[in-house]
């Protein structure tokens, strides 16, 4: 199972044209959350975190998306299939 969320933050007045992508997938040993970011049209940077379960990966995705929204990002595409845990609310 794999889930992807793509966000963008565009503000021409501040010369801001950014993208942010979050992927979560299952592995044999739990899951992986990979975050990528950069300027639109450019190759970006990435970092990958191992997690113990897919549920934890979804929890981290929710936390990251909340933070990105506070910084002006908007969710453009989302393929997250399971979201809700007991302590988290859905993304949208």
**What is the distance, to the nearest Å, from the Cα of residue 13 to the centroid of all Cα atoms in its chain?**
25
Half-sphere exposure in the Cβ direction for 21 (13 Å, CA): 13
Give me the CATH number covering residue 50: 2.20.140.10
Tokens representing residue 42 in the block: 């450019």
Tokens representing residue 49 in the block: 């975190």
Q: Is the pLDDT score of 78 beyond 60?
A: yes
More confident residue, 32 or 3: 32
Q: The pTM is what?
A: 0.80
Domain assignment present for residue 38? The answer is: yes
| % the chain with pLDDT above 90 | 60
pLDDT at 92: 44
Domain assignment present for residue 66? The answer is: yes
Yes or no: say if 73 and 49 are a contact pair by the CB < 8 Å rule: no
Domain assignment present for residue 30? The answer is: yes
Domain assignment present for residue 63? The answer is: yes
Domain assignment present for residue 88? The answer is: no
* Number of domains into which the chain is organized: 1
Q: For residue 65, give its domain range.
A: 2-78
How far is residue 55's CA from residue 45's CA, in Å, rounded to a whole number?
A: 25
| % the chain with pLDDT above 70 | 85
């Amino acid at each position: 199972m794999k889930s992807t969320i793509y966000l963008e933050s565009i503000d021409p007045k501040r010369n801001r044209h950014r993208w942010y992508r979050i992927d979560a997938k299952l592995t044999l040993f739990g899951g992986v959350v990979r975050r990528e970011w950069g300027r639109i049209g450019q190759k970006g940077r990435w970092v990958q975190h191992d997690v113990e379960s897919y549920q934890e990966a979804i929890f981290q995705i929710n936390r990251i998306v909340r933070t990105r929204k506070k910084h002006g990002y908007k969710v453009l595409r989302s393929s997250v299939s399971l979201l809700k845990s007991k302590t988290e609310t859905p993304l949208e």
